[in-house]
Amino acid sequence: MKNKLFSDFNPVLSKKWKQQIQFDLKGADYNDALIWESPEGIKTKPFYNSEEELNNFNYNTSASQFIILQNIFVYDVTKSNLRALETLNRGAESIRFTIENKDISIEDLMKNLPKENIEYYFNLTFLSVDYITNLNKYSENNNYQFNILIDPIGKLVLEGNWFLNLESDIENLNQINIFCCKSSIYQNAGANIVQQLAYILSHLNEYFNRVKTLKNPVVIEVSIGSNYFFEIAKLRALRILFSALAKEYNLPTECKIIATPTKRNKTLYDYNVNMLRTTTECMSAIIGGANAISNISYDSIYHKDNEFGDRISRNQLLVLKKESYFDVVNNPADGTYYIESLTDQLAEKSLILFKDIEANGGFLKQLYEGTIQRKINESAKKEQDLFDSGKEVLLGTNKYPNKNDNMKNDLELFPFVKTNPRKTLIIPIIEKRLAEKIEQDRLSQE
């Protein structure tokens, strides 16, 4: 029997909804009471319906098939290998190795690691054509699936310098035909969502203009903030924008997105609340269509990597995947009027900003001039002012703090912005958490 649940009811037009809402407001102004404007300048309405003009973009994502990604920093090869094996046996589905040393043996690192249906990511902090060539050869000869994460522009953004210089770095990329976009810094430094998307697009466009061919799909690393629906829409808008840009260069229009919860809203005090924050951020990443999700530990601000923190962060994703039915439905955001409307608006506003950046010389030129840094600082200050005034809330920090909570003796890592005076080509973009000043004041009084 055909389900007539919806056809049995006449549609209610937006005009009728507004009339009823205005009546219920008892004279209060509709726009003042119910319209909220985001930091991106998007005015969100109290309801959305079928009258919305929605895009027909095919996202081609599978939310149910998101991959649980575990980060491993490689210092001791034997320990890192054992940790990877143990992590995969405990529910991780992919590994991202961070390697800082060209002497690290890939043979020893990959010893006995499984090959089938598992992708390995190699986050390199150096640019070596020989090392990357060997990685690719090892992958082909041993039937592994490797993804090389190398981003000279990302290094410039984060540290203020190239690996060598622009010409040499691009020449090396052209030899290996691989690059990625490490864009988490934009969110963690305080850029709003429109800025994040536009900067990712401009960041990639610099490569598309210079790198002749691509060997693999482009990997984009992003950070996910706490604005739940906006973050879902952000990832969807990113796919639309990437597809449009890649099409202009006759490149494959698919990309791989690795999502990680933001650091910006994480707190030192009442740190267990960080688990709640990362859970909703991971949910946004799943519904938004991230290919892989790497959660961060609730204690990552002040603790070194530890087995317990890793287990909790991994289990958060396992609970979402295995117990919360996030592995059942693909693209659950499709057709949701609110999210689709947000997606369209974010994509449109980001495209306008991207075109403005390109019209004024491009991303690298604006980095050298300090324009990108200034814009991010302006956005970050607005958010910081909201937090300092109590309008943006972090529970346990600027609202309902536990005055008996002491952290001074638990710090294994320095949890605040680090200053490292050195000669740089540009002013680096600096990550900063919202709660740092409050936390520094509290630590000084313990």
410-439 residue pLDDT tens? 999 999 998 778 899 999 999 999 999 999
Contact yes or no for 311/90 (Cβ under 8 A): yes
Q: Is the pLDDT of residue 1 over 50?
A: no
User: Looking at the domain assignment, is residue 353 inside a domain?
Assistant: no
Contact yes or no for 142/114 (Cβ under 8 A): no
Average pLDDT, the chain: 94
The one-letter code for the residue type at 375 is K
Q: How confident is the model at residue 5 (pLDDT cuts 50, 70, 90)?
A: low
Segment 121-144 shows an average pLDDT of 97
Q: Tell me the sheet residues that pair with 70.
A: 95
User: Looking at the domain assignment, is residue 180 inside a domain?
Assistant: yes
Phi-psi region of 327 (alpha: psi -120 to 50; beta: other; left: phi over 0): alpha
Query: For residue 237, what pLDDT is reported?
Result: 96
The region of weakest confidence among 52-56, 104-108, 263-267, 405-409 is 52-56
User: What pLDDT, in 10s, does the model give residues 263-278?
Assistant: 999 999 999 999 999 9
Which residues span the domain enclosing 314?
Answer: 63-339
Please report how many Cα atoms fall inside a 13 Å half-sphere around the Cα of residue 428, on the Cβ side: 20
User: Looking at the domain assignment, is residue 352 inside a domain?
Assistant: no
CATH for 90: 3.20.20.240
Q: Cα 294 from chain centroid?
A: 10
Q: Is the pLDDT of residue 292 over 90?
A: yes
Q: Is the pLDDT of residue 136 over 50?
A: yes
User: Looking at the domain assignment, is residue 169 inside a domain?
Assistant: yes
d(CA 303, CA 271): 11
- Decide: residue 282, CB within 10 A, 0-12 exposed, 13-18 middle, 19+ buried: buried
User: What pLDDT, in 10s, does the model give residues 197-213?
Assistant: 999 999 999 999 999 88
User: What pLDDT, in 10s, does the model give residues 67-102?
Assistant: 999 999 999 999 999 999 999 999 999 999 999 999
**E strand or H helix at 122, and its extent?**
strand 119-124
Q: Is the pLDDT of residue 47 over 90?
A: no
d(CA 444, CA 446): 6
The one-letter code for the residue type at 303 is H
Closest to 197 in 3D by CA, of 78, 40, 337, 314: 40
Q: Are strands 255-261 and 218-224 parallel, antiparallel or unpaired?
A: parallel
Q: Using a pLDDT cut of 90, give the percent of the chain over it.
A: 81
Contact yes or no for 187/223 (Cβ under 8 A): yes
Q: Could you give the number of structural domains in the chain?
A: 1
**E strand or H helix at 123, and its extent?**
strand 119-124
Q: How confident is the model at residue 53 (pLDDT cuts 50, 70, 90)?
A: confident
Q: Is the pLDDT of residue 7 over 80?
A: no
Q: Which residue has the tokens 């090869």?
A: 77
Q: Is the pLDDT of residue 2 over 90?
A: no
Task: Please report the DSSP string for 18-72 in residue order.
Answer: HHHHHHHTTT--HHHHH-EE-TTSPEEPS---TTS----------GGG-EEEEEE
Neighbouring CB atoms inside 10 A of 217's CB total 16
Segment 16-32 shows an average pLDDT of 86
Segment 115-140 shows an average pLDDT of 96
Query: For residue 58, what pLDDT is reported?
Result: 78
Q: How confident is the model at residue 324 (pLDDT cuts 50, 70, 90)?
A: very high
The region of weakest confidence among 44-53, 128-137, 177-186, 265-274 is 44-53
d(CA 130, CA 135): 9
d(CA 435, CA 264): 8
Q: How confident is the model at residue 329 (pLDDT cuts 50, 70, 90)?
A: confident
Q: Which residue has the tokens 């906006």?
A: 230
User: Looking at the domain assignment, is residue 77 inside a domain?
Assistant: yes
Query: For residue 57, what pLDDT is reported?
Result: 80
Task: Please report the DSSP string for 258-305 in residue order.
Answer: EEEE-STT--STTTTHHHHHHHHHHHHHHHHT-SEE----TTTTTS--
What is the torsional sign of CA 314, 151, 208, 147? Answer: negative
Q: Are strands 119-124 and 255-261 parallel, antiparallel or unpaired?
A: unpaired
Q: Are strands 67-74 and 94-99 parallel, antiparallel or unpaired?
A: parallel
Query: For residue 234, what pLDDT is reported?
Result: 98
Q: Is the pLDDT of residue 105 over 80?
A: yes
User: Looking at the domain assignment, is residue 21 inside a domain?
Assistant: no
Q: Is the pLDDT of residue 151 over 90?
A: yes
Query: What six digits make up the tokens of 6?
Result: 């919806």
Contact yes or no for 378/429 (Cβ under 8 A): no
Q: Is the pLDDT of residue 129 over 70?
A: yes
